[in-house]
A and B are shown apart, each in its own frame.
Chain A
Amino acid sequence: MTRTSAPGVRVKDLTVVYKTPAGELPALGGVSLSLAPGTITGIVGESGSGKSTLALSLLNAVQPPGRIKEGVVEIDGLGDVVKLTGEELRRARGRQVGYVFQAAQNSLNPLKTVGKQLLDLGRSHDFDDLPALLKDARALLGRMGLDGGRVLDSYQHELSGGMRQRVGIMFALVLNAHLVVLDEPTTALDMITQAAILKIVRDVHHERGLTTLIITHDMGVAAEVTDSLAVMYGGRVVEHGPTTEVLGSPRHPYTKGLIRAIPRLSGDIDEARALPGRPPTLGTIPKQGCVFRERCPLRIAVCDTVDPEPITRDARTVACHAVGRLATPVVPKEYV
């Protein structure tokens, strides 16, 4: 058990399919992604790009009618999460991997106080020292600028959106999980609360020595807190690398398009160029070839038939035929 240090995470060739009347459609098509121990990794992408599905896969919690068809999710200290079932899986959730929800606003049972739900959590994970758990929770909440005692005595409807979000983070951390997954932690919050939450995430990450994964569709959030950044499109990671490099000199045409679409505070709003076309849905993801080709300015013949392999070079991974060609000697990732 690696309880005291940040775990590394290795996702390999993860394919998640959803059962629909039109057959099983892939939400994730062979995703590979590594989270280095102790880093904050961000995942950005449009709605429907598979961000949340990937996040849920880290807990082997893809909801029916979806299922993990193949692939490996290896977490240090846990092994391959995809193979965990039943009680083993339940105990890993919360204890080893903390999860903060996209809809953390509603992540509490409306009929019980926060404190009682915390006790439920403690009992579920066989904590003997429940008073210590409450003490930890109060300290964590205090750390996030809340009156811990008051919050533990409150029902969900007595807390504001920002407070609920912090309670959600507390729940993810209080069992001392060292891998924390935050799915859009600041969506639906005002800018000031958003900044406060991000600061908390960053501070707690460093204090506790966590490995953190943040899912967002907000490039600003990604730029502010993450060490490394993965860009997803159509159920694939199309680009991954250190955040400053990915944002500073994007390589994949989709990443470039995304960044060009951000309006600047200083400058003409017309300079922001929306990406032409629309992202694929489950049903419209192409069966073969590159998923981005329909909207791609660099499209070449091979894109229609072959799905580009992610190529890693200088700590940066890009999955694009056109970029691969332009680039100087490419080393397939198998040899890195």
Chain B
Amino acid sequence: MKTVVRRLSGHLLRGLAMIWVVTTLSFVIIRNIPGDPVRGQYEKLIEQGMSPDQAERSTAALYGFLPTGSLWDQYTDYLNGLLHGNLGQSLSTPGTGVATLIGSAAKWTILPVLGGTLLSFLLGVTLGVYAAIKRSGKLGDALAISGSLLHGIPQYVIGLLVVAVFSTLWPILPAGGPVDIDFAPGFNGPYIASLIQHATLPVLTYALASYGGWILAMKSSVATVLGDDFIMAAELRGMSRGILFRYIARNAILPLFTILALSLGLLFGGAIFIESIFNYPGLGLLLVNSIGARDYALMGGTFLVLTVAIVVANIAADLLYAVIDPRVRKGAEA
């Protein structure tokens, strides 16, 4: 128990340091993107004949803060805000907190992307086992080829193809937006049906785009385990098929857990292309729009959320690994 606590605290310290480094870097980079909207507004007001004082006050009233101060002052203010759980005010949507924007975008990202990730993981892993066992047969080849092919096609091409097929050629599903505005939000049948309808294509696209990676990873992992001595040993000891299958599956899926945990962390980056194609107001779209609008605070906020998510996912993967692999567990205690 003591070792677990020590391990966890080590992870947390390193994670915090990592988050601080990324925050600082993204702050510096973001502030150096040309085109400062606050200064733009301030200068526009002066051009319109306002005195600098007036212009400053007016801009401050609009954005909720003063556009003055050195980069260092702004940096310390920003960090201070973060430590108090304040992600700052959005510039492109004046008067709204970054946290609020991220929160409302997150709900449109997490469920579809989570659904897509889990769907493709389950599908890819199951078919990957099959592809490995039948790897000298036609079906195994076909599965592996489908994996390579889908793995090779970029997400946005798959997205456009899916739209072309299911919304244009054979219009059975809506191509854009998260939900029909005709229905009152809430826990009622039509609204939920509309949600699911709109989520189907993005989830499908996401699943298709990542399924290839899973099937290939699982296939090679299973093929490696199948060649391990202990599998043949178990077979020659007359272990039943079920037990043999569990031996193979558990050993083969081990390396995939790390990838899964990391992709669950990346989930908070949203799926930029997919959300753009389907006009889905998730985190990816929010990030793209914030960059277009030079919304420093919002950019910083989305980067921060993504960073934290990945760091947490990493720690979770590491701890999870210790639970499922006794070699790691003992190694850490020794």
Contact = CB atoms under 8 A, between A and B. Distances in A.
B49 interface: no
B238 A101 contact: no
Interface string A154-177: 011110000000001001100000
A177 to B, nearest CB: 10
Interface in B89-107: none
Contacts of B254: 111
Nearest to A107: B233
**Most B Cβ at <10 Å: residue of A61, A120, A123, A168:** A120
B330 interface: yes
Nearest to A168: B233
A35 to B, nearest CB: 18
A159 to B, nearest CB: 12
B238 A93 contact: yes
B330 A157 contact: yes
Nearest to A156: B230
A157 B327 contact: yes
A137 interface: no
A124 B239 CA distance: 5
Contacts of A110: 230, 251, 326-327
**Most B Cβ at <10 Å: residue of A92, A113, A125:** A125
**Most B Cβ at <10 Å: residue of A103, A111, A113, A155:** A111
Interface string B229-255: 110111111111101000100110010
Contacts of B228: 106
Interface string A91-123: 111110001010110111111110001001101
Nearest to A120: B243
Nearest to B325: A111
A193 B248 CA distance: 31
A156 to B, nearest CB: 8
Contacts of A168: 233
A155 B326 contact: yes
B326 A92 contact: no
Contacts of A117: 234
Contacts of B238: 90-95, 121, 124-125
Contacts, number: 79
A121 B330 contact: no
B251 A171 contact: no
Interface residues of B, number: 23
B243 A101 contact: no
A147 to B, nearest CB: 18
SS of A interface (majority)? helix
B326 to A, nearest CB: 5
A107 B230 contact: yes
Contacts of A158: 330
Contact of B233 (A101, A113, A157): A101
A94 B330 contact: no
A55 B143 CA distance: 36
Nearest to A174: B237
Contact of A111 (B232, B237, B250): B250
A109 B251 contact: yes
Nearest to A157: B327
A171 B325 contact: no
A109 B236 contact: no
Contacts of B232: 61, 63, 101
A59 interface: yes
Given A93-B238, A155-B327, A109 B229 contact: no
A92 to B, nearest CB: 7
A74 to B, nearest CB: 19
Nearest to B247: A109
A155 B330 contact: yes
A158 B333 CA distance: 13
Nearest to B241: A90
A95 to B, nearest CB: 6
Contacts of A171: 233, 237
A123 B240 contact: yes
A93 B247 contact: no
Given A92-B238, A155-B327, A171-B237, A124 B243 contact: yes
Contacts of B247: 109, 112
Interface in B155-189: none
A59 B243 contact: no
A111 B235 contact: no
Contacts of A157: 326-327, 330
Given A108-B230, A109-B251, A59 B325 contact: no
A26 to B, nearest CB: 22
A113 B327 CA distance: 11
A113 to B, nearest CB: 8
Contacts of A99: 236-237
Contacts of B240: 90, 123-124
Contacts of B327: 110, 155, 157
Contacts of A59: 236
A124 B242 CA distance: 9
Nearest to A171: B237
A259 to B, nearest CB: 32
Nearest to B239: A124
Lowest 5 A-B CB distances belong to which pairs?
A94-B238, A107-B233, A93-B238, A124-B240, A94-B237
29 contacts: A61-B232, A91-B238, A94-B238, A95-B238, A99-B236, A101-B229, A101-B232, A106-B229, A106-B230, A106-B233, A107-B230, A107-B233, A108-B233, A109-B234, A110-B230, A110-B251, A111-B250, A111-B325, A112-B247, A120-B234, A121-B238, A121-B239, A124-B240, A155-B327, A156-B230, A157-B327, A157-B330, A168-B233, A172-B237
Given A93-B235, A106-B229, A124-B240, 7 more contacts: A61-B235, A92-B238, A93-B237, A94-B239, A109-B251, A110-B326, A113-B326
Interface of B: 228-230, 232-241, 243, 247, 250-251, 254, 324-327, 330
